[in-house]
Amino acid sequence: MADQMQEKISDKEIEDKKGGNQKEIRVRARSLINAELLFILLPFIVVGIIFSSKGEFSNFIRAPEWSLASSILIGQSIVKLISGLLSKPRKVIWEKTAELISVMIVILLVPTLIILFLIMTTEIPSIGLIVAQFIFFFTSVLLFYYVGGLVLLRNVRQLRRVWLQTVRVA
């Protein structure tokens, strides 16, 4: 009887920890995504400082690298989404997944690559192209942050479930 009581207490303590760790898991996932994003943005910060010190900040704003970075972030978001869905043990609705990936490619990736092409092939890009480039850049950063965060949360939760099951068995 005492052994059963001890086992119930252990399960209760595990469940309490499980609920209390949700906030910590979110903070850790955000920290990892923030770290990735900071290293993506680091070259832009350095190049921006260099252009500013030369008095050529307008050239930095017109640079095609913003669209290039957008396409890389969108591609990384697609890869994170697919890997996150494949790592999930439950059944994935492949039609919804295909639709979501198609939207990301058609609405975000292709226009970003077209803007990259247009900026690289014109001597002085128009204000509209520059604005569109920045809109797609910030959208791709948000997409990367959102998708990456969801995938990390899902993977961490899955690891935690496995750990909790291991603790219960032991």
Q: Which is it for the CA torsion 145, 150, 156, 159, positive or negative?
A: negative
Per-residue pLDDT band at 28 (split at 50, 70, 90): confident
**Model confidence band, residue 11 (pLDDT cutoffs 50, 70, 90):** very low
Query: Is pLDDT of 14 > 60?
Result: no
Output 160 or 82, whichever has higher pLDDT: 82
Highest mean pLDDT pick, 25-39, 81-95, 130-144: 130-144
pLDDT of amino acid 86: 76
Report how far residue 100's alpha carbon sits from residue 161's, in angstroms, rounded to the nearest whole number.
27
Question: Measured between alpha carbons, how far is 65 from 60 in angstroms, rounded to an integer?
Answer: 9
Dist. CA 81–CA 41, nearest whole Å? 21
Kindly tell me if the per-residue pLDDT of 116 is higher than 90.
yes
pLDDT score, position 162: 57
Average pLDDT score over residue span 130-138: 96
Look at residue 1 and tell me whether its pLDDT is greater than 60: no
Residue 166 pLDDT level (bands cut at 50, 70, 90): low
pLDDT for the residue 96? 81
Has residue 20 got a pLDDT over 80? no
pTM of the model: 0.74
- Of 7 and 134, which is predicted with more confidence? 134
> What is the C-alpha to C-alpha distance for residues 125 and 166, in angstroms, rounded to an integer?
58
